[in-house]
Structure 1
Amino acid sequence: MLLERKYKYLLSYLLITFLSCLYIVFAYKVQRTDFIVLISIWLSAFLLSYTLLKSASGNFTTLVVAGLLFRIVFIVAIPNLSQDFYRFIWDGRMLLAGYNPYLSLPEEWITSGNTPIPQANILYEGMGELNGSHYTNYPPLSQLCYVIAALLAGKSITGSVIVLRALIILADIGILVVGRKLLIALNLKEYRIFWYFLNPFIIIELTGNLHFEAIMIFFITWAIYLLHKGLWVWAGIVLGLAVSVKLIPLLFLPVFFQKFVGTSNKKISKSGILKFTAFVLMTLGTVLLSFLPFLSYEFIENFTRTLRLWFQRFEFNASIYYIIRWIGYKIVGWNIIETAGKILPFITLCFILLLSWIKKNSTTKQLITGCLLGLSFYYFLSTTVHPWYIAVPLVLSIFTNYKFAIAWSIAVILSYTAYLSPDFKENLWLIGLEYSIVCVVLYCNLAKPKTLLDHL
């Protein structure tokens, strides 16, 4: 027994060393155009991480330290898979300089030659012409993080990256702590949290490439935990903070209905309806309060214009939408994204409302499953699904029996084949392979009667 334990410790330390080396190479050597190297490291990291989870499954501290070490490896690395962080830094510095980032375009400042922030030209070149020609759509709590980076490292891009990364690492620690508590409260194995904390996709996309889904996920997880404990007022406020980081948690609000009023098979509680209404108002009130310093007619116009563009102009890593687009070309002969971009969100809303009414969502496990299925349906119909979007379904899945989001976090690397082409052209066969993998795992989850009964 003692010899076996020593063998497991040695294996764990070797795996941590190998993984650290992989992340160092990924962080400081790999470019997104190096797809063969990229996918080789990606798949190797998943295989080694899974082996680490198995070998150190009885040592919580070792896994925590490993997760922190892998994140620290990236601490001074400039993100290599995404340019968005340049816009984050731009917005934060503009706000710190006293300018509302929602009211002006980076390209306008560059054209005028009178930018009020340091390194403006470098930031504009880094974010790219497409990003610089659109108004920012990052909500206020995200903007607060950008301001913190501007305040602490206002003249250094590397310094700003370090600050932003530190905030994301702190959020991941929060997810680890609250997620573990929620798992224990739901009588689930606490080690499930490492499917998030040690997931190479999370480490590379969030910590490595500075996507603030981590902070949003922390607030979502915390809100669900508070609601599970009966603290629904605080849960509403915290969920509002999540929306103030990224708007996506607004989709969850209808799913919370049965948690307050009971199942569709029972008499609806009037007091439950009042509580649900108050919960929604607490959430929306928190969001409104965060937007209050920026509110103006021009802000609303710019913000909604950017959101419309997101649904009706941009395309990346879509699934069902690409099939609809292909049918559109066959029938009318052109890209029907403007029409589809108006109809698909409406279909998603109808599905979520239907899901909220006919599916049992009265327990916390059922509620989380409803959120997972609703959000996944939204992504399946979306015109744009950037890899880091999968982080939210992934964290929700660890509280359910559904594993397709874990498979998705592995397969999503196939979307990066778009960067192999100078004109940014996606390989639709590989996108099809990505979603085929996801759908096969989802079908296997649904095909098991026990899993189906547990969640419906």
Structure 2
Amino acid sequence: MSFFLKNKVALVTLISTILYFIFAYFLERIEFYKLTFLWVFLFGCFYILIKKSAISFTNLVGISILFRLIFLFAMPNLSQDFYRFIWDGRMIFEGFNPYLSLPETFIQQGIYPISDASELYSGMGELNGSHYTNYPPLNQLCFFIAALFSSKSIFGSVIVLRLLIILADIGILYFGKKLLQNLNLPIKNIFWYVLNPFIIIEMTGNLHFEPVMIFFLIWGLYKLHQQKWVFSAFLIACSISVKLIPLLFLPLFYQWFVKKSIQQSKSNIITTFLAQLKSREFYKLISFYAIILSTTILFFLPFYSSELITNYTKTVGLWFRNFEYNASFYYLFREIGYLFRGWNEIGIIGKITPILTILFLLIITFFRKNKSEIQLITALLFGLCFYYFTASTVHPWYLATPIILSVFTKYKFPIVWSLVVVLSYQAYSNLPWKENLWFVTIEYITVFSFLIYEMKKVKVKNMIN
């Protein structure tokens, strides 16, 4: 039996290795059906590996690293964002502030400020090249490191960027395991993230830097669990300085600091709240926020200019007012706008959905129990997913954060989402680019159905317990 098990694991690992190799070196984004075939079969192998309880933790670590190393010498084939990463890094390397100029401006004027400027601009595309960079300072640091080690070769820069992402995933594995141990959860849960084909393909393969953000976030949550909240605040600031998305989480720490140490009383809500404001724990919370915000601002200071804030906010605002991709409820809101107004109301909807997200975050901040670490992480998961469910743009790689958060909760719907999100790539099989909303509908019906199933399942378990 042991011999059969070992050989079955070896066979599944070998099949996965071959499929990842094909994915990395013999696939183009427009080949939707080939992409889907490889994606689904890799998820099948992933499920077999993660469900084999006899496989040791060490072996799963080795398999996870092996699958990532397959992509080491491959050029990303599902995303062209890495060209902008390399552009920004080389701009810093040459002494330019990447937040103050457009690649388009240089190219149109026949100026080539960095090596491979023309090729990088062509690779990133006119849309990307016509907007100011929106990548925070620590993300820019990663781009600069790539330029530092390879300022003349795009291929060399890709390898450096990929190694940074692999190292970040190893860090997530390390601190994720420690956090799972401290929360008395199975340590193999971390492989729902580390071994997930979506994570391997979208992060290691296509050079999206969510793992670096997640590394600092998970490390910060681990330190928070140890009651080292000052260092935790610094790490969360680092996370925000890679990707801005953890800013959404800040209100949800309220109960962890304030309500955790204040016993429930029979006083009304207002009296209780006023008592909390006077507590020592509330001042800890304020200090926690102050460290996060001041550290984040400090990271931006080397790039400070009177134009920085204008350019940066303008670019970030585009995600709410201009871009549409793989949305769920937003597309329903858009259709209602077409029905009653006769045109696309993205300008109005883009202003309303952030307000809805803020209201939802405030509701779960004050009216949901977030005292324990697991309750807090569950709140982070649902707060972030609410934002994605109402957003106008949900690129596949955004799902990395919900996936890692789900590892520490009772919910696995982000894992299912990481499987069906491949349907969103159907848009790239059309020339010109065009979404088929039937595929988007299938994706979100699957996700919401599984989410509802899990919520009912958790509710029943809570009633029994």
The alignment-based identity, stated in percent, is: 53
**Do the aligned residues in 1 keep the contact of 2:142 with 2:161 (CA within 8 Å)?**
yes
After superposition, the C-alpha distances for 1:200-243 in whole angstroms (9 at most, x for unaligned) are 00000000000000000111111111001100000000000000
CA distance in 1, matches of 2:194, 2:317: 34
CA distance in 2, matches of 1:25, 1:394: 25
> For 1:59-70, what aligned pairs fall within 5 Å after superposition?
59-70=56-67
Q: Structure 1 residue 416 and structure 2 residue 416: aligned?
A: no
> For 1:280-429, what aligned pairs fall within 5 Å after superposition?
280-429=289-438
Shift of 1:247: 0.2
Q: Which 10-residue stretch deviates more, 262-271 or 428-437?
A: 262-271
CA distance in 2, matches of 1:313, 1:62: 46
User: Paired residue for 2:174?
Assistant: 177
**Do the aligned residues in 1 keep the contact of 2:410 with 2:458 (CA within 8 Å)?**
no
Shift of 1:155: 0.5
Runs of at least 5 residues in structure 2 that lack an aligned partner in the other structure: 266-271
CA distance in 2, matches of 1:233, 1:453: 34
**Do the aligned residues in 2 keep the contact of 1:319 with 1:435 (CA within 8 Å)?**
yes
User: Paired residue for 1:108?
Assistant: 105
Three-state SS of the structure 1 residue aligned to 2:433 is: coil
Q: Specify which of 225, 243, 248 is matched with residue 245 of structure 2.
A: 248
Shift of 1:421: 1.1
User: Paired residue for 2:83?
Assistant: 86
**Do the aligned residues in 1 keep the contact of 2:74 with 2:205 (CA within 8 Å)?**
yes
CA distance in 1, matches of 2:414, 2:240: 21
Q: Do the aligned partners of residues 402 and 122 (structure 1) sit closer, same or farther apart at CA in structure 2, a change above 3 Å counting? A: same
CA distance in 1, matches of 2:51, 2:360: 38
User: Paired residue for 1:279?
Assistant: 288
Shift of 1:10: 1.4
CA distance in 2, matches of 1:446, 1:385: 23
After superposition, the C-alpha distances for 1:327-346 in whole angstroms (9 at most, x for unaligned) are 00000000000111111101
CA distance in 2, matches of 1:276, 1:7: 54
Three-state SS of the structure 2 residue aligned to 1:33 is: coil
Shift of 1:449: 4.7
**Do the aligned residues in 2 keep the contact of 1:57 with 1:191 (CA within 8 Å)?**
no
**Do the aligned residues in 1 keep the contact of 2:13 with 2:63 (CA within 8 Å)?**
yes
After superposition, the C-alpha distances for 1:120-146 in whole angstroms (9 at most, x for unaligned) are 000000000000000000000000000
After superposition, the C-alpha distances for 1:252-272 in whole angstroms (9 at most, x for unaligned) are 000000000015945554111
Q: Structure 1 residue 218 and structure 2 residue 227: aligned?
A: no
> For 1:135-154, what aligned pairs fall within 5 Å after superposition?
135-154=132-151
Please tell me the residue identity of whatever aligns with 1:66: I
Q: Do the aligned partners of residues 92 and 452 (structure 1) sit closer, same or farther apart at CA in structure 2, a change above 3 Å counting? A: farther
Shift of 1:56: 5.5
Shift of 1:156: 0.5
Q: Structure 1 residue 227 and structure 2 residue 224: aligned?
A: yes
**Do the aligned residues in 2 keep the contact of 1:9 with 1:56 (CA within 8 Å)?**
no
Q: Specify which of 5, 8, 24 is matched with residue 8 of structure 1.
A: 5
Shift of 1:452: 7.1
User: Paired residue for 1:73?
Assistant: 70
Shift of 1:8: 1.5
Please tell me the residue identity of whatever aligns with 1:272: E
Three-state SS of the structure 2 residue aligned to 1:210 is: coil
After superposition, the C-alpha distances for 1:17-41 in whole angstroms (9 at most, x for unaligned) are 1111100000000111101110000
CA distance in 2, matches of 1:101, 1:380: 31
CA distance in 2, matches of 1:453, 1:178: 29
After superposition, the C-alpha distances for 1:75-105 in whole angstroms (9 at most, x for unaligned) are 0100000000000000000011000000000
CA distance in 1, matches of 2:138, 2:185: 31
**Do the aligned residues in 2 keep the contact of 1:87 with 1:131 (CA within 8 Å)?**
yes
Please tell me the residue identity of whatever aligns with 1:86: Y
CA distance in 2, matches of 1:15, 1:370: 36
User: Paired residue for 1:23?
Assistant: 20
Shift of 1:108: 0.4
CA distance in 2, matches of 1:351, 1:151: 43
**Do the aligned residues in 2 keep the contact of 1:401 with 1:451 (CA within 8 Å)?**
no
Q: Structure 1 residue 46 and structure 2 residue 55: aligned?
A: no
Q: Which 10-residue stretch deviates more, 267-276 or 306-315?
A: 267-276
Shift of 1:58: 3.7
Q: Which 10-residue stretch deviates more, 53-62 or 229-238?
A: 53-62
CA distance in 2, matches of 1:148, 1:286: 21
Runs of at least 5 residues in structure 1 that lack an aligned partner in the other structure: none
Please tell me the residue identity of whatever aligns with 1:442: L
CA distance in 2, matches of 1:75, 1:90: 20
Shift of 1:54: 2.4
User: Paired residue for 2:30?
Assistant: 33
Please tell me the residue identity of whatever aligns with 1:26: F
Q: Do the aligned partners of residues 47 and 449 (structure 1) sit closer, same or farther apart at CA in structure 2, a change above 3 Å counting? A: closer
Shift of 1:450: 4.3
Q: Do the aligned partners of residues 50 and 363 (structure 1) sit closer, same or farther apart at CA in structure 2, a change above 3 Å counting? A: same
**Do the aligned residues in 2 keep the contact of 1:56 with 1:62 (CA within 8 Å)?**
no
Please tell me the residue identity of whatever aligns with 1:315: E
With structure 2 as the length reference, what TM-score do the two structures score? 0.95
After superposition, the C-alpha distances for 1:166-185 in whole angstroms (9 at most, x for unaligned) are 00000000000100010110
CA distance in 2, matches of 1:46, 1:246: 27
**Do the aligned residues in 1 keep the contact of 2:89 with 2:144 (CA within 8 Å)?**
yes
**Do the aligned residues in 2 keep the contact of 1:404 with 1:438 (CA within 8 Å)?**
yes
Q: Do the aligned partners of residues 24 and 121 (structure 1) sit closer, same or farther apart at CA in structure 2, a change above 3 Å counting? A: same
CA RMSD in angstroms comes to 1.2
CA distance in 2, matches of 1:422, 1:451: 48
Q: Do the aligned partners of residues 317 and 57 (structure 1) sit closer, same or farther apart at CA in structure 2, a change above 3 Å counting? A: farther
